[in-house]
Amino acid sequence: MPFERSSGLLLHITSLPSPGGIGDLGPAAYTFANFLAAAGQRIWQVLPLNPVGYGNSPYGAISAFAGNPLMVSLDVLANWGWIGHDRISSLPQHSGPVDFNEVTRTKQPLLEEAAANFLAHHSHDQWARFEDYCVKQRAWLNDYAAYVVLRKSFDYKLWTEWPAEYAHREPAALERLAAERGQELAVVQALQFAFDEQWGHLRYYCAARSIKLMGDIAIFVSFDSADVWTHPEIFELDAGLTPVKVSGVPPDYFSATGQRWGNPLYRWDKLAAQGFDWWVARVRRACEVFDLVRLDHFRGFEAFWSIPGEDDTAINGKWVKAPGRELFQQLEKELGTLPFVAEDLGVITAEVDALRREFGFPGMRILQFGFGNRGAHVYLPHRYEPNTCVYTGTHDNDTTLGWWQTGTSVADREAAETYLKPGPDGIVWAMIRAAETSVADICLIPVQDVLELGSEARMNVPSAAQGNWSWRYQPERLTLDLAEKLAALVTVTDRDGVPIDPLPSGAETESSQEAEPATLSLP
């Protein structure tokens, strides 16, 4: 779909400086929305909002549909009357890096206490909304709640290690669970309701300030997830529920053995026979939550690297065609115009590019990638087309300052200086200006770059299994001066949402093209 020319910032919810040790949907989120509005930004991009599993990666979630309860604001719950303000006053107020284990230990029990209070004592209006929510989201909510309760009961073991009656979802066992542990299941559901209510309020607040929320769909789901436990028939599992084929990417210049991600692959034939109903439900849910959606690993919708499940590396994998065209056609049929941005980074074939263009999805360009060699110049602005989303870097890149200080060769630095011509405010703002002034319809800048932070603020190192996703910004860093600098840049580059005045009548003639710029009607 065509997108209006706009600019936005990339900041995950957990990176907000909220109390409680982790960013949430409370006051800090609204403060950041105010900064976006003051800075003329029209998009707030976040990473997947789903509850995380091992490694705390939002791309390794335990549900493709649920929201992360740790993002629920206890301050807001206290204002709702779900919990006393005195009960949450001892939580840490600092905005340092997220310690996920500590947050789970201290915040999760208070969230569950608040949800239990709501179930016991609630207003009529909010209870009616909760009941309506449970009905509307029942296709995934009940199974997710059962998965969470069982996972906790069995010491967070992989669901295939649970007692067979639960691993295989025997109806009698699930009925007994519902009868005996209804309160625990309802607590999980109430926290999901709270997440959706708080997110909905934030989205409304942003919309009133002409800010769109952009989310992210990871193409694959974790094996240890409610999705695979609930729908094993649509994944490549054997009779013992072990993955037969798993995801990854082939060996390349960077890795002689490739990357074995380990997600179970889809049984696309069964999904197609079912009208891609699981994917339709997943995208429908995403479109309920977000205004725009980034499709991670887009090339996997055209062909994916299939690795034998028993292999430890990706060497013996092979490319297998995916029915991406049929899937997107069905999604358009069911949901209408798709607000997708395609993450088409890496080695992209003509077939992948053709699939993206057929459905009009913007591709992505990363400025940091543009200086390695002549082939990398596709990532530089002079090679862009308008239907593009440009970034200085993404959550998987080092910050631009970190990249400049430690991640570039002498030749790359010379090329970047030649191309960007850094001014008095340095290389980072030269990169930001190059992105904003490009013809790409969408420009997204990580907050770390706006703040000119180094590698200490990097969000993710893909090769590292631990220590990622914990960065949070210091609230005093987002100043009015910084907002004004961004606002001035988006105004002069026509990314502020103000309609562009047409040229005066006759401006297309040769004589008018030679006129002084002052004769043009500027926005």
Q: Give me the active site residues, please.
A: 296, 343, 396
Q: Which of 95, 44, 46, 49 is nearest to 69 (CA)?
A: 49
Beta strand spans in 352-397 (E): 363-366, 388-391
Number of residues that make up the chain = 523
301-320 as b/e: b if 16+ CB within 10 A = bbbbbbbbbeeeebeebeee
HEC profile for 411-461? HHHHHHHHHHCCECCHHHHHHHHHHHHCCCCEEEEEHHHHCCCCHHHCCCC
**267 to 236, 264, 274, 337, 515: CA distances (angstroms):** 6, 9, 11, 26, 62
Q: Give the separation between CA 282 and CA 137, rounded to whole angstroms.
A: 11
Q: Give the separation between CA 186 and CA 203, rounded to whole angstroms.
A: 25
Q: Do 223 and 264 touch, CB atoms closer than 8 A? A: yes
135 CB-side CA count, 13 A: 6
190: CB partners within 8 A, 6+ apart: 115, 118, 119, 130
Q: Give the separation between CA 491 and CA 30, rounded to whole angstroms.
A: 23
Q: Which of 455, 363, 367 is nearest to 415 (CA)?
A: 367
Q: Which of 250, 260, 267 is nearest to 311 (CA)?
A: 260
Q: Which of 65, 189, 201, 200 is nearest to 134 (CA)?
A: 189
> CA torsion, points 186, 150, 285, 44, in degrees to nearest 10?
90
Q: Which residues pair with 293 in a beta bridge?
A: 215, 340
382: CB partners within 8 A, 6+ apart: none
First-residue to last-residue Cα distance in the chain: 25
> CA torsion, points 30, 34, 37, 41, in degrees to nearest 10?
-60
User: β-strands 363-366, 388-391: how paired?
Assistant: parallel
Neighbours of 50 (CB within 10 A): 25
- The CA-based angle 263-268-272, given to 5 degrees, is 145
Q: Cα 142 to chain center, whole Å? A: 24
